[in-house]
Amino acid sequence: MNMGRLNGKVAIITGAANGMGAAEARLFAQEGGKVVGTDLNMDKLNELVNEITSNGGEAIAIQHNVASEDDWKRVIEETLKRFGKVDVLVNNAGISSTMTIANLEMEQWNKVMDINLNGCMLGMKYAIPEMQKVGAGSVINISSIGGLVGMAGSSAYTAAKGALRSISKAAAVEFAKQQIRVNSVHPGIIETPMTAESFKESTPYYKTFTQLPYFGKPEDVAYGVLFLASDESRFMTGSELVIDGGWTAL
């Protein structure tokens, strides 16, 4: 049912083929948004876009390596060609890393930084000028609880997500006068393809990922992202939305 919370808004969502990105794309379309879903996995992304359009929504799929500046230029160009503007950017694409600092290889460090941090910076670099033309906009950077607290064995991931939290605040201050809002979202461990290993019954520590008696689903994050994309959050910028089942409340 379309409640119209994003009627007329054009939203770019990276990493939209699976998990939280796919949930965000579905929800945005249900709420009247025009969705530009990007990912490297075109099979899954095309499936998602076909699902959205068959349900009466508007969406397009664009193959996209978020670490590539040229790809970002092309994504913005194709978005403008199809929808004419950019209102919302959700920097959702990311990868995990489980190496400790002592064992971290520079190749892995650079890959995590390229996708989890540089990709988000490039998205803002190219989407925000289009929001300036509109006269307003909302950027939602998907960070992590790892951007707020230390997570052993995830040094590169934690560093990138912490930096994403900080650059979100810097951008929020830079563009506030132009009514372009920038907020970060900090999910806990959510049941997605990326975290599937953590939820196997053979991994007992998965039970520590929430204080609530149930686990987080992609939709739980998507509703928070929807709020930040909509005008309901018009007085929020530079904020951190934590969606972690109370994990960081301990």
Residues annotated as catalytic (active site), given as ranges: 157
Backbone angles phi, psi at 167, to 5 degrees: -70, -25
Rounded Cα gap, residues 143 and 246, in angstroms: 16
Tokens of 167: 């650059």
Rounded Cα gap, residues 197 and 192, in angstroms: 10
DSSP the chain: ----TTTT-EEEEESTTSHHHHHHHHHHHHTTPEEEEEES-HHHHHHHHHHHHHTT-EEEEEE--TT-HHHHHHHHHHHHHHHS---EEEE---------TTT--HHHHHHHHIIIIIHHHHHHHHHHHHHHHHT-EEEEEE--GGGTS--TT-HHHHHHHHHHHHHHHHHHHHHGGGTEEEEEEEE-SB-SGGGGGGGSTT-GGGGGG-SSSS-B-HHHHHHHHHHHHSGGGTT--S-EEEESTTGGG-
Rounded Cα gap, residues 248 and 110, in angstroms: 27
- Is the separation of the CB atoms in 224 and 185 below 8 Å? yes
